[in-house]
Amino acid sequence: MHCVSTPGRQAHKNSCQSNAMKINIKKALRYFLLVILLAALFLAYRIHSRINPKPTIAESSTSIIGFNHIGLVVKDLESMLTFYQNATQYELIERMNVSQNEAADQLFGQTGVSFETAVLKGPNMLLELTQFDNSSDTMLRKMPPQGPGMTHTCYQSASAVPGYDKFKDAGVDMLSRGDTPIELGNYGVSYAYAYDPEGNMLELEQMSDFVIGLTIGKSWAKKHRLWMTQVAILSPDISKLIDFYEMVLGIAPYRVGRYGDNPAFAEVADLDSLAFHGAWFMLDGRGKKLELMQYEPPHATPNTLTTKTPLDPGYTYSLEVLDIQEEYKRLQEAGVRFISPPQQLGHFWIVYANDADGNVFSLRQALDPAFSLVNF
């Protein structure tokens, strides 16, 4: 619009200026809203790529399909089963005793193995508690957050119905400082570390509805209030362990880096001036990850590695495979230390192995669809 400025047209001039100002305000508002929209989209992309990144196990050339179960070798099965049922509300789908079983003796590499196990089914993974007959003399101790070894697994929930409260009500010994989960940054996720009654560490992670909508799915999270995610292993030589798991999984980690200069780390792990190197591999759905870390001085992960057995107290985990004989042969040829050839026990073909640090993991091929990842 073009306006001619003459004394006789001052009112018209003022009207033109007012209209021009309104147009400029509308343009500025549109630009402002566009900037806000782009910032929101960028934030959403960063959150999505952080929690649901690539590559995943789906890109692997192996027959591994993901984490099937977390195992805990416990001293008192009854009390630990009660604790985890109260905290998680997971369904007890199996409880069995095994003794005088040749396959079990082969599998665990010992004669006369005798144990009782209880299996809880979560929304996306199994939790398996096992008490061996010789466990009565086991000395319980709290796993230090700096390791070494498999220090914890993670239970994830919505911030609106936090797993933090469920585990606290069930009687965990909280390691993290304060009375609420701790945010590491402004991205809608909070964390806490705690100990179960036998000193096994666990992570409690709460996510905002916004983050859940981007990654997990609100309807799924509403139906399943508490689910399991990562396996965390602390190593004095993270580079060696990264190389090992790249070979096993057939994929590279989606993120590798050094992390420090964040006071919230100290709040979560109760260790001042905490810094660490980390690497993460993306496994199967609902955000399941393999997390490798190496703490730096003054809380350096100690080089006190030992080769563990499946009977030792604490954590193990399994990778479900579609062809256990194929994966056993591939990894054996690559130098992985196995306790035995694959054995058929219960609902699985199973074989136990040690990783490069001596931690215990297993390969499992499900014989019963009810115990397979494909039906979680």
Q: Give Cα separations from 10 to 5, 14, 24, 48 (angstroms).
A: 7, 6, 21, 57
For the domain spanning 60-375, the CATH number is 3.10.180.10
- Contact of 120 with 93, CB cutoff 8 Å: yes
Please report which confidence band the pLDDT of residue 3 belongs to, taking 50, 70 and 90 as the band edges. Answer: very low
Joined tokens for residue 318 = 């399994």
pLDDT in tens, 71-122: 999 999 999 999 999 999 999 999 999 999 999 999 999 999 999 999 999 9
Residue 84, pLDDT score = 98
More confident residue, 266 or 1: 266
CB proximity list for 286: less than 8 A, separation 6 or greater? 123, 124, 216, 220, 227, 229
pLDDT at residue 361 is higher than 90: yes
pLDDT of residue 215: 85
User: How do residues 166-218 score in pLDDT, each as one tens digit?
Assistant: 999 999 999 999 999 999 988 899 999 999 999 999 999 999 999 999 888 99
Average of per-residue pLDDT across 275-295: 95
pLDDT digits (tens, 9 = 90+) for 18-74: 666 767 777 778 887 877 787 666 666 555 556 568 899 999 999 999 999 999 999
Tell me what pLDDT residue 12 has: 58
**Total length of the chain:** 376
Region 262-266 average pLDDT = 95
Radius of gyration of the chain, Cα coordinates, nearest whole angstrom: 26
Q: How confident is the model at residue 139 (pLDDT cuts 50, 70, 90)?
A: confident
* Both tokens assigned to 184: 């590491």
What integer pLDDT is reported at residue 21 of this predicted model? 72
Residue percentage of the chain with pLDDT more than 70 = 90
The pLDDT assigned to 351 comes to 98
| Distance of alpha carbon 297 from alpha carbon 271, whole angstroms | 11
How far is the C-alpha of 243 from the C-alpha of 318, rounded, in Å?
19
Single pTM value for the model: 0.86
Smallest Cα–Cα separation from 181: which of 154, 162, 195? 162
DSSP symbols for 333-371: HTT-EESSS-EEETTEEEEEEE-TTS-EEEEEEESSGGG
Per-residue confidence (pLDDT) for residue 186, from 0 to 100: 85
